[in-house]
Structure 1
Amino acid sequence: MNKPQTNSITRRRLLGSAAVLLGAAAFAPKAAFAADKIKVAGIYTVPVEQQWVSRIHKAAETAQARGDIEYTFTENVSNTDYARVMREYAESGNTLIIGEVFGAEQEAREVAADYPNVAFLMGSSFKQDAALPNFSVFDNYIQDAAYLSGIIAGAMTKSGNIGMVGGFPIPEVNRLMHAFMAGAAEMNPDIKFQVSFIGSWFDPPKAKETAFAMIENGADLLYAERFGVSDAAQEKGVLAIGNVIDTQADYPDTVVASAIWHFEPTLDAAIAAVQAGNFTADDYGKYSFMAEGGSSLAPLGTFEGKVPEAAMKLVMEKEAAIKDGSFSVTINDEEPKSS
């Protein structure tokens, strides 16, 4: 069986010790999959340490430890090489393939069409297509938690000037920035935002330099959508709000709060669908909503008790309303602009 070639420096593959699932196809009758482990492959265009991908990787490792899947992955796959790696994983007996195809949308869907008995669950800026029943999409719809973190940011900035550094102005980034900005405006409608995109998913030095420029331009709090921003905040003695992962322990005097993405509900739903034989084209983005357990506000850690009481009261009220469905955070996928 062919498997993706792995460069010892830039690519790693985690191989489970369980026996290979033989014979059954992804869409066999439910009874055939009752207690079987399924083979899952992850394909990532960045290192698994990167915020967004790390959450997918963590969820897959959790499912493997639980005994539900046998997991392997390849990281640092270029967009031009993505389709080839997809094909090789499909050929090597994987039942479910997960990853992110933001830069290879058309090619990825063409590959999926050639392997109708393999389930594909891919991060995408586009929606599912009923004509391609084995290709489902997801995205990190963690606007709920981003909104709550914005409330805290609005209460903590003294200058009323917040810097926001993102990777690319695509929907999955834009919606989080808009939600954060809306939360901050709850505390201070006159806050000014500096918004910039670095054109990369993983370039900490560039993100850091962009953040330095914002600090020089008056920002005393930064929205760290990318790695490198919190480093700049720490060096300059300003505050930061994290995104997707919790870095408070790494920046105890800098990161006040973080909006956390939990990919487990998304992946677990896909695994269950494959095992039941009813995986079909769907939008799994809903599993990232706070009400589904797909996002949360990280513990404040060293900033516990340091955020103004009025802000924390509003956070608790809004969080309860989000969870009971009486309040919905607006999803705005348009590119945010500086004030």
Structure 2
Amino acid sequence: MMSGRNRRTWLKLAAAGAAVAAIGVVPVAHAQAKLKVAAVYTVPVEQQWVSRIHKALNEAKARGEVDYVFSESVSNADYERVLRQYAEQGAVLIVGESFAVESAARKVAKDYPKTAFLMGSSGKPQAPNFSVFDNYIQEPSYLTGMIAGGMTKTNHIGMVGGYAIPEVNRLMHAFMEGARAVNPKVKFTVSFIGSWFDPPKAKEAAFAMIDKGADVLYAERFGVSDAAKERGKLAIGNVINTQPQYPATVVASALWNMEPTIGAALGKVKAGQFKDEDYGKYSLMKYKGAELAPLGTFEGKVPADLMVKVRAREKAILDGKEAVKVVETEPKSTP
């Protein structure tokens, strides 16, 4: 029989457990030194979007915070199997992009309610353990658009994207609005290659735009900056900074930093407080989840008066005085 003190302690613990279950959190606090984290990617880890997740998780691994394993270039048909494999192996957090495999990823999450899932997704969180994120970097995309609009000599900008989905569309629209803000005469040629990773196809699409008079190219996909480099044109980067590879070509980039998102998720897993949430806010500039890349080799080459406007808009965004509109319809070429 329990003593009165032990009984009170047990009742407190039981009540705490019930409270955790009631709010739908993953009810296991992981006290081990390193968390077992797995990632499942449908593309190679060098692809822009996925590379940012991979970078953030590798940094957590280097700090000794996680044991990190991953699978890349996983086909849609095999995605569910790989997710289940990592869940069965004891991963406490599984990260990935589920845009084309939403139903499979959500099905697996339901079957493993004590495993935390953090997935790139256009959908909503799913109780109790499926959280979502996305690269809401429309703010620096707008700023790079301002730079592009001020740098074009032909007033013609070419834009090459992967697919016309909300995640891509919102960045393109923000970029276009930024360009129009400083150059009302600018026009756009927009094209989608139907692939997340096909540099040769993106390069050919960019060549076609250059042939039509575009002198600045928005490189949403790899391959575009190669075309710009070969033809002596300028390019604007997306998600990562490729200026080191194209020092005379890439003027600026809208950077996505996944560290705030991964850091927030790991903190909640450690505390046993992970639940179904939308982590999208951690990609905003105020959380340091996005930023305008340094001008680097183009420092002094971008007109000073243009950069005054860019920095003023950047400050207004960070101060919460201005917001970049989110438009997720398919962007169209200028008639």
Same fold? TM cut 0.5: yes
Tell me by how many angstroms 1:29 deviates: 5.5
Tell me by how many angstroms 1:70 deviates: 0.6
Q: Secondary structure at the match of 1:337?
A: coil
**Aligned residues of 2:26 and 2:275 also touching (Cα < 8 A):** no
Q: Secondary structure at the match of 2:291?
A: strand
> 1:272 corresponds to which residue?
267
> 1:102 corresponds to which residue?
99
> 1:235 corresponds to which residue?
230
Deviations 1:99-132, CA, capped at 9 Å, x for gaps: 0011101111011000000000000111213xx2
* Aligned with residue 146 of structure 1, among 135, 141, 149: 141
**Aligned residues of 1:230 and 1:251 also touching (Cα < 8 A):** yes
User: Which aligned pairs between 1:106-117 and structure 2 lie closer than 5 A?
Assistant: 106-117=103-114
CA distance in 2, matches of 1:173, 1:127: 18
* Aligned with residue 216 of structure 2, among 213, 221, 229: 221
Tell me by how many angstroms 1:338 deviates: 0.6
**Aligned residues of 2:44 and 2:73 also touching (Cα < 8 A):** yes
Equivalent residue letter for 2:211: E
CA distance in 2, matches of 1:125, 1:238: 34
CA distance in 2, matches of 1:284, 1:171: 17
Tell me by how many angstroms 1:252 deviates: 0.8
CA distance in 2, matches of 1:143, 1:73: 28
> 2:39 corresponds to which residue?
42
1:190 equivalenced with 2:185 (yes/no): yes
**Aligned residues of 1:36 and 1:275 also touching (Cα < 8 A):** no
1:74 equivalenced with 2:81 (yes/no): no
Tell me by how many angstroms 1:27 deviates: 3.4
Q: Secondary structure at the match of 2:326?
A: coil
CA distance in 1, matches of 2:278, 2:185: 36
* Aligned with residue 205 of structure 2, among 205, 210, 227: 210
Q: Secondary structure at the match of 1:169?
A: coil
CA distance in 2, matches of 1:193, 1:29: 51
1:155 equivalenced with 2:154 (yes/no): no
Superposition misfits of 4+ residues, deviation over 6 angstroms: none
Equivalent residue letter for 1:96: L
Tell me by how many angstroms 1:314 deviates: 1.0
1:326 equivalenced with 2:321 (yes/no): yes
Equivalent residue letter for 1:136: S
**Aligned residues of 1:155 and 1:311 also touching (Cα < 8 A):** yes
Tell me by how many angstroms 1:324 deviates: 1.2
Q: Secondary structure at the match of 2:87?
A: helix
Equivalent residue letter for 2:177: A
Tell me by how many angstroms 1:274 deviates: 0.6
Q: Secondary structure at the match of 2:100?
A: coil
> 1:58 corresponds to which residue?
55
* Aligned with residue 281 of structure 2, among 276, 281, 286: 286
Equivalent residue letter for 1:137: V
Tell me by how many angstroms 1:92 deviates: 0.4
1:250 equivalenced with 2:245 (yes/no): yes
Question: How many equivalent residue pairs?
Answer: 310
> 1:316 corresponds to which residue?
311
**Aligned residues of 1:150 and 1:179 also touching (Cα < 8 A):** yes
CA distance in 2, matches of 1:97, 1:165: 31
Deviations 1:280-331, CA, capped at 9 Å, x for gaps: 1111111000011001111111110111122100111111111111111111
**Aligned residues of 2:150 and 2:183 also touching (Cα < 8 A):** yes
**Aligned residues of 2:28 and 2:114 also touching (Cα < 8 A):** no
> 2:82 corresponds to which residue?
85
Equivalent residue letter for 1:245: I
**Aligned residues of 1:322 and 1:328 also touching (Cα < 8 A):** yes
Tell me by how many angstroms 1:98 deviates: 0.2
> 1:20 corresponds to which residue?
none
Q: Which runs of 5+ in 2 are unaligned?
A: 1-24
Instruction: Give me the identity figure in percent.
Output: 65
CA distance in 2, matches of 1:296, 1:218: 29
CA distance in 1, matches of 2:150, 2:177: 13
Q: Secondary structure at the match of 1:40?
A: strand
Q: Secondary structure at the match of 1:48?
A: coil
Q: Which runs of 5+ in 1 are unaligned?
A: 1-25
Deviations 1:162-193, CA, capped at 9 Å, x for gaps: 00000011111111001100110111112111
